[in-house]
């Protein structure tokens, strides 16, 4: 388990216990759209509250535990945290706009954002629903989006903030697109020659191109072509890109 995933799980567990012992914590931290101007901090604090039933927090923390560590290791701690909280923030705002009468609690929107990040980085990774039914991460993301949309439109029952889930996906997508473009621009600006060994080339050749996300696959092909045509001249950012995928195997 990575450090920030562990910290988030511990923080959620502590706030859950506090809210069970002191109900006023729930009232102070829950996000209520009608009180957004009076209690703006609840746009963040609601992510650490969960329903009284133990299943709510267990489900969210298991999702964070399954998908968070690999994504944090890939993005780095700061970017992972920004993804998590930005997804949760957009989740709250989406629910506020599309379902203004509904108050929300829980880390679901933020965890949905983490899952979308996982699916975007490793779209063909096999996930087993309930440990049995196999499905690729990309199709799981499509299924979860459809369920959130149908649920938000009232086609499924349950006291669930479906639009918040959808907002978590939206927030993660916005941030990841921004991150991909900023990294590409930064890489293009740093046209400095770096040392490349035969070991580097062998390791990078072992990257499974077919398992890369489409955006990453295009970048991988561009860098490999550059290596072939320019006798090993790549930027430091391009080297880091290849190193990340050779280490993760994705």
Q: What is the pLDDT of residue 188?
A: 59
Within the chain, strands assigned E span 126-129, 133-136
Share of the chain above pLDDT 90, in %: 55
Q: What is the pLDDT of residue 76?
A: 92
User: What's the whole-number mean pLDDT along residues 204-216?
Assistant: 82
**pLDDT tier at 201, thresholds 50, 70, 90:** confident
pLDDT tens figures, 34-72: 999 999 999 999 999 998 888 999 999 999 999 999 999
Distance in angstroms (rounded) separating the CA atoms of residues 48 and 42 = 10
Position 12 pLDDT exceeds 80: yes
Mean pLDDT over each residue of the chain, to the nearest integer: 87
At 138, list the tokens: 């990309």
Domain range 3-182, CATH class: mainly alpha
Q: Which residues pair with 31 in a beta bridge?
A: 104
Angle between helices 54-75 and 108-121 (to 10 degrees): 40
Distance in angstroms (rounded) separating the CA atoms of residues 20 and 108 = 19
pLDDT tens figures, 110-142: 999 999 999 999 999 999 887 788 999 999 999
Position 186 pLDDT exceeds 90: no
Position 249 pLDDT exceeds 50: no
Supply angle C-alpha 217, 145, 163, rounded to 5. Answer: 130
CB 69 within 8 A of CB 2: yes
Q: What is the pLDDT of residue 11?
A: 97
Top pLDDT among 242 and 187 is at 242
Residue 104's SS3 state is: strand
Distance in angstroms (rounded) separating the CA atoms of residues 187 and 223 = 11
Domain boundaries, the chain: 3-182, 191-248
Distance in angstroms (rounded) separating the CA atoms of residues 36 and 135 = 39
In SS3 terms, 31-61 reads as ECHHHCCCCCCHHHHHHHCCCCCHHHHHHHH
Characterize 188-202 residue by residue with b for buried, 16 or more Cβ atoms within 10 angstroms of its Cβ, and e for exposed.
Answer: eeeeeeeebeeebee
Comparing CA positions, the residue from 57, 56, 43 lying closest to residue 96 is 43
At 102, list the tokens: 């509904």
| End-to-end CA separation in angstroms for the chain | 19
């Amino acid at each position: 388990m990575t450090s920030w995933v562990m910290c988030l799980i511990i923080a959620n567990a502590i706030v859950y216990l506090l809210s069970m012992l002191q109900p006023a914590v729930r009232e102070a931290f829950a996000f209520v759209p009608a009180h957004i101007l009076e209690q703006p901090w609840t746009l963040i604090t609601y992510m650490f509250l969960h329903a009284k039933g133990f299943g709510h927090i267990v489900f969210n923390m298991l999702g964070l535990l399954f998908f968070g560590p690999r994504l944090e290791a890939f993005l780095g701690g700061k970017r992972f945290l920004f993804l998590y909280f930005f997804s949760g923030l957009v989740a709250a705002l989406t629910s506020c706009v599309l379902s203004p009468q509904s108050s929300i609690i829980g880390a679901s929107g933020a965890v949905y954002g983490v899952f979308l990040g996982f699916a975007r980085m490793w779209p063909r990774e096999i996930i087993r629903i309930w440990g049995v039914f196999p499905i690729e991460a990309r199709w799981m993301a499509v299924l979860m989006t459809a369920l959130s949309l149908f649920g938000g439109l009232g086609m499924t029952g349950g006291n669930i903030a479906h639009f918040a889930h959808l907002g978590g996906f939206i927030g993660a997508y916005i941030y990841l697109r921004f991150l991909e473009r900023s990294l590409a621009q930064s890489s293009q600006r740093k046209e400095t020659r770096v040392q490349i060994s035969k070991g580097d080339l062998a390791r990078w050749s072992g990257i499974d191109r077919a398992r890369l996300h489409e955006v990453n696959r295009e970048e991988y092909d561009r860098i490999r072509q550059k290596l072939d045509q320019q006798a090993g001249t790549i930027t430091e950012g391009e080297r880091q890109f290849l190193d990340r995928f050779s280490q993760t195997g994705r």
